[in-house]
A = this chain, B = another copy of it.
């Protein structure tokens, strides 16, 4: 397939009904998460209520959707990818709960609802995050396994993406960067870790659950990396341009916290252009899937064009 044909495919994602796709995936992911997690009434109820409060607070399930779409691109079954999709969502949710704490971003609202610590107190919020992180690993090792990649491979993938060199490195650098004048490269370092790492992990795990080849895995890595960076730039842009009501969280937070953002460093227009270029690169990476990556393309386009 020529580059032109792939690009045309990418531009044709309008024919792919993403809304229906997302509704279906979200329902399936929610049902699986509900099955994987202890019931809210399980003793001690507080922790299970708190875990479920944030996990079912109306998240867009973008990481699980990317994971399942990656599996689809590799001819995999949704059921085989589902434990990975749920694990990354648990890790994403844990990172949000801890990130919202007063000692970090100090946020009262998330997805239009009170943040975990505002409802359950800081102590339980820290523990609910801890529990969701631990639960992610448990979900993955409770699944029966996959022919090409072992549980060892999958747990390592998840631990690396969430660890002190990736997700947590991004959070720390973000925390330390507050009030400082950062270069575009320093900001990119943060975004790569804070956002790209787990997005990249989501699509890689989807591929791995579907016994992808190493060339496919590399393509998913490139796709996830670029979509992740674009995603965070768009987040920065929305923080400046949208209202809190629309975002369901405090808008203008980055400016208030004196955080460096793409718009503050390179301006709004150039930020939009960079996000567009990164998304194009992500599309390019999908060539290898020869038309089977429609859902991934549609998701990348949606993430670029979203307004919340």
Contact = CB atoms under 8 A, between A and B. Distances in A.
Interface of A: 38, 42-44, 46-48, 51, 94, 98, 101-104, 121-127, 129-131, 133-135, 137-138, 140-142, 145, 150-152, 155-156, 158-160, 162-165, 168-169, 171-173, 175-176
A194 to B, nearest CB: 12
A55 to B, nearest CB: 12
Contact of A138 (B125, B126, B133, B159): B159
B135 A172 contact: no
Contacts of A137: 137, 155, 158-159
A198 B46 CA distance: 21
Given A124-B175, A169-B44, A164 B135 contact: yes
Contacts of A44: 169, 172-173, 176
Given A137-B159, A140-B155, 7 more contacts: A47-B172, A94-B130, A133-B134, A135-B159, A138-B163, A141-B156, A150-B151
Nearest to A159: B138
Contacts of A151: 150-152, 155
26 contacts: A38-B165, A42-B164, A43-B169, A44-B172, A46-B172, A47-B168, A51-B164, A94-B130, A98-B130, A101-B126, A102-B122, A126-B126, A127-B168, A127-B172, A131-B164, A133-B133, A133-B134, A134-B163, A134-B164, A134-B168, A135-B163, A138-B160, A141-B159, A145-B152, A151-B152, A151-B155
Copies of chain A in the complex: 2
Contacts of A163: 131, 134-135, 138
Interface of A is mostly: helix
A94 B158 CA distance: 18
A145 B155 CA distance: 14
B127 A130 contact: no
B168 A131 contact: yes
